[in-house]
Structure formats: structure tokens, C-alpha cells
Amino acid sequence: MLGTTKYLLAGAVCMVSVASAQAQDVGTMTMEQSTVMRDGARVTDGTGIALGDQLAANATGSGVIVFKDESTARMGPNAVLTIDEFVYDPSRRNGTIRLRQTNGLARIYGGQISKRGRSEVRTPHIVLVVRGGIVDTYVDEGDGNGDNGETITTLRGGIMKCTVGDETRTVTNPGMSCVSDGETLTITRNTQSGGQLVPPAGQGGGTSSGGNYDQANCASANASASCKSDNGGLPRPGTNTQGRDPLGGGASGGGRDDCDPEYDECYIITY
């Protein structure tokens, strides 16, 4: 039943998104803090987000938009985001998502589309493609009087591609940033911690302790080295398939239990 519903939804999302832009929600604002606006009205928790919507946070505002492909846009101070395109086929977990960010700070978490299709964020200075990862995007729109501002995109996980004019650079190392004023593109190491998107411990009240995620293998205190991921997160047991040693070697029989840490598979299976 669940599967049937999803296939129907797949068709619906694809068709509506492509054919008639505004008709159907492509995501939900699951959390908003003072304040995020759309068309002059505040967007509250649970509000549907449609194609073409422009959302703007003020200097203290933040919000979380979860799209149907599980992509998430976390809006930070002064973020202005527009949903330009969203095409998603859940049965193939593929499609296209294109956001436009014209100001402020946001963090984009790639969903299913980013792992198989095209997930793109456009700013006045950079075209950013996110592949199965997480990227912080900061846009300074400039003053309009000769200062064109700049965009800084910082990889937090996975892969990002930055394009300015004819130049494209691919970044796979978290913490590295693309910086552009729209004319040039440079890659630097960002020594900032992304602190503006890390809520301080004392802010907002609430109660301590709370979540226990021991059942989530790789989020627990017992997480092993097999949980490390360099592609935005797909831990899986590795296979001993290097086949480096001759067969029949006594105690080394039965798979490669003498595997060498030089190989990724050995990291995964041995430690």
C-alpha cells in the first residue's frame, strides 16, 4: 500500500512540477524561528512550500525546509531562497532540484536527487552542484554601487562543483571553500567553524539530555571505523575481494584476514 502511494506520488510530483509550476507543494517548512517570510507573510511550521516560492529570513531568522526527495535547506540569517525547479521521480529516486540564493547564509543537505540526479544552487556569483553532500552557502549581495559582493560555498560533506563562467572546480575535502565575486573563482581552506549555523548551547531554553541514538549504529558511542564515509554517507560492510594472496596459505585461508590497512576494504572490515 505504501509502495502504491509512493508511485502515485511520484507521477504526481513529476507531472505537476514540470507542467504547471505553482500547483503542488514540493516540500514543507518543518521549523521556523522568527522570522521567515513569503510574499509578506510569515511562514509557520508545517507550511507547504511550492515551486516558485521565494523565502526570506531576517537577521535572526532561521528555518528548515524538507523537500520531497529528502533534500533539506536550512535557512540562516538573511537567507533569501527561491525554489526555481523541482522534478522528482521517487520510483527512480532521481530528478532535478534548483534553488536560487540571492543573500544570506544557508546550509543545503543533498537528498535523493543529489545522489543520482542534479542538485543545484545558483547565486549571483556561482553555480553550485551538490553531489550527495552538505554545503554551506554564504551570499553577500553587495551594495549595488560597484561592489558586486561575493559568494562563499563551503563543503561540509560529499562533493560540490563550483562553476564561474567557463571555470569549474570540484571539491571533495570538507572544510574547503569556493570563493567568487562572479569574475574569478578561488579555492581556499575555510578555518571558520560555520558557527553561525551552530546554535549556542544556552540559547532557546529547552531541557538537557533528551535524545538517545544508541540504536543508530554509526551515531552511537560504539561507532566503529566502518562508519567513516567520504562520500556524504553510505556506510556498508566492505568485502574482502582484493584476492592478493595465493590460495591455500594455511592460517591465511578463509578470506583475507591478513588484509592490509592500505586498502579501504580493510579499514571497513578489520577495525
Partner 1 sequence: MRRVRNSVAAGRLVLLLTPAVLAGAPAVADEASYYNAFDLRVTDIGSRTALDRFVVEAVNQGQYDQALSTLEEVILRNPADIGARIALARIYYQISSYDLAAAHIEQALLTAGWEAFEKEIEALKAKIDRAQSGWEHIFTISGGVDYKNVTETVDTFLGPDKNDGSGTVPYGSISGVVIRDLYTASSDEIRFGGMIRYIRNVGDPDFDNNYDQFDQFKGRAYTTYSKGLPDIVDTLRVDLTAYAEFDRQNSIRQINTYGAKAQISVRPSVESQLWAFVDYGWLGSSQNYYTDHRLTYGVQGEYRIAAGIALGLYANGYYEWGTSPEAFDFISDFDFETSGYEVGASVSHLLWVFEDGRSWVHEGGVRYTNGEVLDYASLVDFFANASLVDREAWEVFWNHTVQVRTDTILDFGVYYGEADYTNSTVSFDRSSAYWGVKGGLTFQIN
Nearer to partner 1, 40 or 236 (CB): 236
Nearer to partner 1, 147 or 258 (CB): 258
Q: How far is CA 210 from CA 9, 35, 64, 193, 221, in A?
A: 34, 26, 21, 25, 16
CB of 154 to partner 1, least distance (A): 9
CB of 100 to partner 1, least distance (A): 20
CB of 215 to partner 1, least distance (A): 5
State how far the Cα of 62 lies from the Cα of 37, in Å rounded to an integer. Answer: 10
Nearer to partner 1, 71 or 123 (CB): 71
Burial class (CB within 10 angstroms; exposed 0-12, middle 13-18, buried 19+) of 97: buried
CB of 6 to partner 1, least distance (A): 7
CB of 23 to partner 1, least distance (A): 19
Nearer to partner 1, 2 or 59 (CB): 2
CB of 29 to partner 1, least distance (A): 9
Nearer to partner 1, 82 or 229 (CB): 229
Nearer to partner 1, 1 or 19 (CB): 1
Nearer to partner 1, 28 or 96 (CB): 28
CB of 15 to partner 1, least distance (A): 21
